[in-house]
Structures are given as C-alpha cells and as structure tokens.
Amino acid sequence: MHRLIDRLEDKHCLTNDEWIALITDRSEAEYLFERARFTAKQYYGNAVYTRGLIEFTNYCKNNCYYCGIRRDNRNADRYRLSREDIMDCCRQGYELGFRTFVLQGGEDLYYTDERLVDIISEIRGHYPDCALTLSLGERSRESYQKLFDAGADRYLLRHETADEAHYKKLHPSEMSYENRIKCLYTLKEIGYQVGCGFMVGSPGQTIESLAKDMQFITELQPQMVGIGPFVPHHETPFSDETKGTVELTLYMLGLLRLLKPNLLLPATTALGTIDPRGREKGILAGANVVMPNLSPTRVRKKYELYDNKICTGDEAAECRTCLNRRMESIGYELAVDRGDPAQQ
Ligand code: 5AD
Ligand code: FES
C-alpha cells in the first residue's frame, strides 16, 4: 500500500483497481496521514481556513432518505431567515474574523432568483473583501448564472455518491444522478469555485462506490470537496442504519489531500459529531478548513440533518473561541482570510 500511496502523491491519479486496493487495505493509514499532512503544510502552512455557515432555510422540496430536513419529515420545525437576519449573521461573523460566508439551505422555492439576488448583492456590497459561497442545491443554468453575476463566488453541491445505482438507493426516483452531475459541470463552466462531496458510510455504499467517487473527483477537478460520516436521523427511512466511521472518513480525507494537493478540504461538523476530537483528527489527516455555524442560536437546533449535531446550543463567538483552542492544541491556527485555493 506504501507503493500506491507514493504513486498517488506522485501522479495525482490511480486506476480503478488501484483505488479499490488502496481503500480496501487501510493498514498504512498512519503513513497516508503523514504524507497528507506534509502536503497540506506545503500549500497552506499551519493555517486553517474558516467559513461562517449561515443555515438560512430548512424548508426543502426534496425527500432524500438520509436527511433530517426532508420534505416528509412533518416533525421538522421549519424556518426561514429574513434578509435582515442574514445580514446580522454576516456582521457578527465579520467581527469574529470570518471572510467567507456560506449561505446554505434546503431546496426552498420561496427563494426565487430575485430574492436571492437581493440578498447576494447586499452581502457583496457590504463585504467586498469576503468570499460568498452558496449551497442551495440544484437550480437551472440561468439561475446559477444570475447568482454568480450578483456576486457569489463559490458553490457547494455534494454529489453524494458517484455510483449511480447507489445514488438511487439514497434518493427517491424524482431525483436524478445525471442532473446532479450536470449541475456541477455547469457551475464550473460559469466560473464558480466548485465543491462536490459525499458521505462516508451511507447505506449501500461499497468500496467500489468510494473508488467511483475518487474517479469522479479526478475528472471534475473541483476546488473543494466536503466529506463527512453518514449519521442517521431518527425521522428518516435510514433511522436504523449504522453510522459511518471516523476511521474511514479520515482515510478518505488523506486520500483526497494527495489526489489534489491544493484542495479546500473541511473537517466537517458531522465528523466532530461522531468523535469529540473529530475535527482535530480531520486536520491531522489532511483537511484544512473548518465551517462553524453563524446561524442565530434560536434556529440552530432546527437545521438538524442528522441526530446529535454539535454546536446547536452555542453562540458563533463561542464556536470561534472553541475552534481556535482546538486548532492551537494541534499546532494550527485559524486564518482571517477569504481562504482561496493555493496555486497548484
Ligand atoms: N448524515 C451525514 N450527512 C448528511 N447530510 C445530509 N444528511 C446527512 C446525514 N444524515 C449531508 C449531505 C448534504 C449535506 C448538506 O449534508 O451530504 O449534501
Ligand atoms: Fe462550536 Fe466548539 S465549535 S462549541
């Protein structure tokens, strides 16, 4: 496996069989993390980039089997943040040192292009030195273009799995794998910095599906990849499924770092949820981004994609301080920076 890890670090790609072999035999995980950490340090030093996440709506027209805010969850307490609420989050975030804001929400038809353009333009006008990331799911090319023109610079849309049969097990038939992938290429063509990503250990995932994820990422060449363990939510069809593991999530993070050395790779909240030191471990496995929550505390608990999500009771300032301490404990520090990709 040493050989395959070195080959990945050298060539930034592997064949499908090599991916399968390397993901199956994880006996050299410590060596992988060493190489991944070394690579991240070369590109980003000991800086960890931060993104202030604003979860502005938990209405969603989709019904993904894994997700706590799926349409059929009648017990979800739905909310939308007003434009003023969102601006308040940004103001607070800016004071705390965030220079990237991520507007994330369910696929909520209330947010027409016009409403979104208003919000985006206002943020862009107030914070010209900040990056603005959107994470609003699948939309049309025209819509993505309008939002880009209004001032958004990045877009996160996890592909969830690059294995079409597996995609069908995670989503009802009204959703299509083909459209999801098309959206990602469209976003790239428009000029967004693009992030895809997948859950680790989602029901029905195999080593072959993970190999396909790595092949897909090699092809798409996104600037960001968000991965975290699948964590069951009690009000979903997957409530009794087993959660993903810390071990495999960290391993995939290490592989992603070597696959694309300058990748923006978050140590996610889901990873912090299944392990109290999950985010620190993620950074030590090659991640270089953290995405604490800036949403008002009164709505935090309501944006529950999975059970036991951390930080739902904490103020943004508390999370900033907490993460500062956590990163310093492993020899890293939070950067006050837009956090664009380093030159490859
Ligand atoms: N466990 C882990 N991650 C989840 N997501 C949604 N539901 C869950 C869950 N139960 C992830 C999806 C989505 C992102 C916003 O959150 O990958 O793209
Ligand atoms: Fe939110 Fe630690 S990051 S409390």
CATH code: domain of residue 59? 3.20.20.70
Strands (E) located in 250-320: 289-290
Query: Is residue 240 within 8 Å of 232, Cβ to Cβ?
Result: yes
Q: Nearest CA to 272 among 314, 215, 236, 234?
A: 314
How many distinct structural domains can be found in the chain? 1
For the record, the structure tokens of 155 come out as 């877009």
Tally of helices (H runs) and strands (E runs) in the chain? 14, 9
- To test the pocket of ligand 2, the residue of 323, 324, 328, 334 to mutate (highest count of ligand atoms within 8 Å of its CB) is 323
pTM of the model: 0.98
Whether residue 329 lies inside any domain: the answer is: yes
Q: Which residues contact 176 (CB under 8 A, 6 or more apart)?
A: none
State which residues form the domain around 194: 2-334
Confirm whether 257 is domain-assigned: yes
- Coil, strand or helix at 104: strand
Ligand 1, residue 160: give the atom nearest the CA: 17
Q: Let me know if residue 340 belongs to a domain.
A: no
Task: Classify residue 343: in a domain, yes or no.
Answer: no
Interface confidence, given as ipTM, is 0.95
Pocket of ligand 2 (CB under 6 A): 292, 311, 314, 318-319, 322-323
Residue 48 forms part of a structural domain: yes
292 CA to middle of ligand 2, Å? 7
Q: Which residues are annotated as a binding site for [4Fe-4S] cluster?
A: 60, 64, 67
Nearest to 283 by CA among 217, 244, 231, 335: 335
pLDDT on residue 1: 80
269 in a structural domain:
yes
* Residue 104 backbone phi and psi in degrees, to 5: -120, 140
Cα–Cα distance, 123 to 31 (Å, whole number)? 43
36 Cβ contact partners less than 8 Å away, ≥ 6 residues apart:
253, 254, 255, 257, 258, 285, 286
Residue at 173 is within a domain: yes
- Distance from C-alpha of 48 to C-alpha of 265, rounded to nearest angstrom: 10
Question: Over the stretch 13-28, which tens digit does the pLDDT of each residue have?
Answer: 999 999 999 999 999 9
Neighbour count for residue 328 (Cβ, 10 Å): 12
Task: State residue 170's pLDDT score.
Answer: 98
In this prediction, residue 314 carries a pLDDT of 87
Q: Which long-range contacts (CB under 8 A, 24 or more apart) does 142-147 make?
A: 142/113, 143/113, 144/183, 144/186, 144/187, 144/190, 144/192, 145/190, 146/113, 146/116, 146/117, 147/113, 147/116, 147/117, 147/120
> Which amino acid is residue 82, in one-letter code?
S
Nearest CA to ligand 1 atom 2: 230
Give, for 80, the enclosing helix (H) or strand (E): none
Q: Is residue 342 part of a domain?
A: no
Task: Give dist(CA 316, CA 321) in Å, integer.
Answer: 9
Residues of the binding site: 60, 64, 67, 135, 160, 180
CA 190 and chain centroid, separation: 20
Q: Which phi and psi angles does 259 have, rounded to 5°? A: -65, -40
Which ligand is nearest to the Cα of residue 319, counting in written order? 2
Give the chain's residues under pLDDT 70. none
